[in-house]
Structure formats: C-alpha cells, structure tokens
Copies of this chain bind each other. A is one copy, B any other.
C-alpha cells in the first residue's frame, strides 16, 4: 500500500521519544496494541511506520510517520481524521505537515478559479487585489448594503460579510444578500456573503446566491465541516470561495463545554472521551466536569451518557464504576482484543465485571 509521510513535532524527554513516536504511529493508524493484530497484511501495510526522529530544540523532536493512503479514503474529514483525529487531543503532539500523493491531490482538485480565474473575474491583472468587510453585525440589511455601495464605488475588489454574520434576525441571509448584491451590481466588485448552517440551510442559501447573481462566497470550514465545503465546491458552487479561519483553534475549548454541552445540544445520546489515567491528558476533574455537563439538569434536555475511553482495561472497571456510577458506557477496545483466542471469554469477563457479577 502507498504511504504518505506525515510530520509531527513532539515534546518529549529524549529517553521516551522513540516510544512516543511509535505510540503516535499506532494512534493514527490501527489504534490498538500491535500484539493483538493477527492479520499480516495489516501489520505490514496499515500500521503507521516511524520513518525518522530528529531533535528540534530542547525537549522537542520532529517525527516523520508513514501512514497508509488507503486509510484516508477520498473524504477530507477522513483524511484529517487519520492525520490528527485523536492526536489533536494529545498535548505534546503538534501536526506540522504531510506529503500528500499526486493521486490524492488530483482527487481533491483544489481551487476552481485560483489566482488567475479570480483576476479574470475582477478584470484586475497587474496589481494586488483589495477586500473589505461589512460590519458591525447588528446593522440591518439596508445599512450593510449602503456600505457595499460605498466600497464598490471606491473600487474595492471584494466585499465580504463580517465572519460573524450568518442568518440572524436583524439581517437575514436572503434579505441581506439581495440588498448587498444589488448595491454592487453593475460594478466590478464581488460581494462574498458568509454561508453558514447545515446542508438544508446551505441549499437555501445557494439558491439565494444563484438567484441574486452573487459573484463569490465565504465559508468557515472549521465551523461548517471540511467535508461539507468539499462537497459544496465539487457539486454546487459556481463562484469562487473565500475561506475563513474561524474556529481553527478548537483545542483550547474546555472539553466539558465542547463535548459535554455542545455535542449534547445537537443531539448526541452518548459521548466518547478520553478517560483520566488513559492515553490522553484529561484529568479526573476534567472528566467529572464533562460528566456533569453531559448529565446535569439543563433546560429540560435529556441527559447524555458518558463513554470514558482511550486505553481502558478490564482491571480498571471497578474503579471506573466507583467514579462514574451507573449511568455510563464503559468502552474497552484494544485491551479486549489482546485476549487473542480468548476474546469471547475476556469479553464475557468484561460484561460480567460491569454487571457486578463474577465471570461465569
């Protein structure tokens, strides 16, 4: 199988870096103990491979890992998942870069307009381009349109929505976009409204964009979902895309809020997260906060079930039950598979331990 080289920067004591690099290669590929893998093809082709380790300043190392291309499929979300899905939660790991294959790049295809296409659209070939944003949010559509008229009159190339603008009551998308596009119509200026929401809302917004003859759109991929942007571009958008970096720093959201509250709000019935004492850095306090957020009385919402995970073992079951009580899903993955031929028995022992019974 083809591999792509992925570059990470790890914080680590020198004596531990080899083990940490190897753990990372496993985390981002098979995510289980190698000793429990029986298929020779998986060991040979799918398990991540540490290709190099070099010192990069005091206590830091550059680590190159070869990951199997085939694990990444053809979806940008899945690609990101294999590059950094779980490791994004590891405090000592930073994802730096990846050498994608030519084949992969061809599949994605990239910008449909790019530098030249956009210049052609703007009829501006021999100079840098200009852009501005309409602000502040809170203004009504006609006030924002008035700003557009001024900017367009001034000859600014691109006017984008403030990235805080979505479909708010004081300037609903359909009304705002119609007004702002009308304000730039007849000029060279492109107005780029901010697309937001789920697939249904986006489909409605695309109808507005097309109906009004809008010349560009803005998206925030980390808010909207990278796969959604990928599909919008591949199947629906006929105009250039302006990408906004909003939320590209999600790691600093407290887990009880992001996982416990926000995921619950949008309907998750159960929440997987790294338990304390496992492979990740969540503390018991963070876990407790997450559980409180997931299960606490909150606007009449049903509670969601915590699923502490990330390197749990049968031996930890009693302690985890004391910590979490009854309303929990205990998740054990690789440790069960370590049982090999005794998988059924080990699994039954897990079931029994959680049921508070001795294994039969």
Contacts and interface: CB of A to CB of B under 8 A. Distances in A.
Interface string A271-306: 111100000000000000000000100111111110
Contact of A227 (B85, B198, B263): B198
A213 interface: no
A150 B266 contact: no
B299 A102 contact: yes
A143 to B, nearest CB: 7
A169 to B, nearest CB: 6
Given A78-B197, A299-B105, A330-B128, A264 B111 contact: yes
- Number of copies of chain A assembled together: 2
For chain A, give the interface size range: 35 or more
A8 B256 CA distance: 14
B136 A42 contact: yes
A242 interface: yes
A85 B242 contact: no
A95 B261 CA distance: 13
Contact of A243 (B151, B163, B242, B270): B270
A155 B102 CA distance: 46
A202 B201 CA distance: 16
Contact of A30 (B138, B270, B273): B138
Contacts of A298: 105, 110
Interface stretch (A13-21, A53-61, A67-75): A67-75
Given A42-B136, A82-B164, A248-B259, 8 more contacts: A70-B170, A110-B267, A127-B355, A128-B354, A131-B329, A225-B226, A242-B271, A243-B268
